[in-house]
Amino acid sequence: MRWTPGGTSPDIEDRRSQGGGGPGGGGFGLGGALLGAAVFRRFGIVGLLVLFAVSFLFRHFFESAPATPSQYASPYGTANRETGNGGAAPGNKEVQFVSFVLDDVQNTWERVLPQTGVPYRRAKLVLFRDYTTSGCGAARAATGPFYCPADEKVYVDLGFFDELANRMGAPGEFGQAYVIAHELGHHVQKILGIESKVQSLREANPSQSNPLSVRLELQADCLAGIWGHSTEQRKLIDQSDIDAGLAAVAAVGDDRIQKMARGYVSPESFTHGTSAQRAAWFRRGFDSGDLASCNTFAAAK
């Protein structure tokens, strides 16, 4: 992927110097991304104390628990994630790359979204190490990158990109860029009112919570593809980058992550879609560059 280092984006909020366990030196890492508030309601304070006291049980919980529906669900946390790039601070080049992608994606939406009659407002991206807080609750590296609609911020522990390459088998800068573009796709959904409508539908009909979540996530993949289309038009990527991006999309399919984490697949618990579905919707946005092509709610998945 061709990109130009240019310092740190003004939309980056760097909290990495605040890294560490969280409140009281421990932290629970619930409520933010993978399982969110639904886990707290299900397991209560006893479950939290167990997770706090025994860290290896905490990791096992995320590896083995079903994909509980959450408004803020992240697709990444069940892949036996280890935190923080081994405790080492990611290099400045990595921060500059994230800054370039963040600015480029948002600049793209500043051009595209007004064509619908809705202006784009820029999101912030929070860099953290191990643990931080968000408007949606606690954020922990083990849950992977996620977008919080309450504060309109994307949360990323840069160590996740090592995980994406080494454990999930999706190396390459364009694959990393896809992750950021996907999370900003959720921001576009928030601006367009899609996210709030889906949340209302989920609350009104809990039995449809997972299928609605899948359609929301597949649409975010398609929106990431629209940004990918713009990078191809500007000759920032070549076929090897496209292949890397599709590999990253496939790496975070529910079926693949569940198979890695638990050894079996539970389709009824899917919240993001299969690898094939996610790649297909990313490709649809990538090939068309058209927002109208991303209506996952009116199409067969």
Is the residue at 5 inside a domain? no
Q: Is the pLDDT of residue 89 over 50?
A: no
Average of per-residue pLDDT across 62-84: 41
Mean pLDDT of the 227-233 span: 96
- Provide the domain limits for residue 132: 12-298
The HSE-up count of residue 290 (CA atoms within 13 Å, CB side) is 6
pTM for this prediction:
0.78
Q: How confident is the model at residue 41 (pLDDT cuts 50, 70, 90)?
A: very low
Q: Would you say residue 27 lies in a domain?
A: yes
- pLDDT confidence band for 74 (50 / 70 / 90): low
Residue 157, classified by CB atoms within 10 Å of its CB into exposed (0-12), middle (13-18) or buried (19+), is buried
Q: In total, how many domains does the chain have?
A: 1
pLDDT at residue 7, as a whole number? 83
CA distance 102 to 119: 18
Rounded-to-integer distance, Cα 144 and Cα 262, Å: 18
Residue among 98, 129, 144, 125 at smallest CA distance from 187 = 125
Q: What is the pLDDT of residues 110-145, one digit of tens each?
A: 999 999 999 999 999 999 999 999 999 999 998 899
Residue 133 placed within a domain: yes
Mean pLDDT, residues 235-263: 92
Least confident stretch, 11-20, 69-78, 83-92, 175-184: 83-92
CA nearest 189: which of 103, 90, 117, 291?
Answer: 291
Residue 2 lies in a domain: no
Q: Does residue 73 belong to any structural domain of this protein?
A: yes
Q: Is residue 147 part of a domain?
A: yes
The answer to whether position 3 is within a domain reads: no
165 in any annotated domain: yes
User: What 3-state class would DSSP assign to 259?
Assistant: helix
| Separation in Å, CA 113 to CA 3, 18, 121, 290, 292 | 23, 35, 10, 11, 11
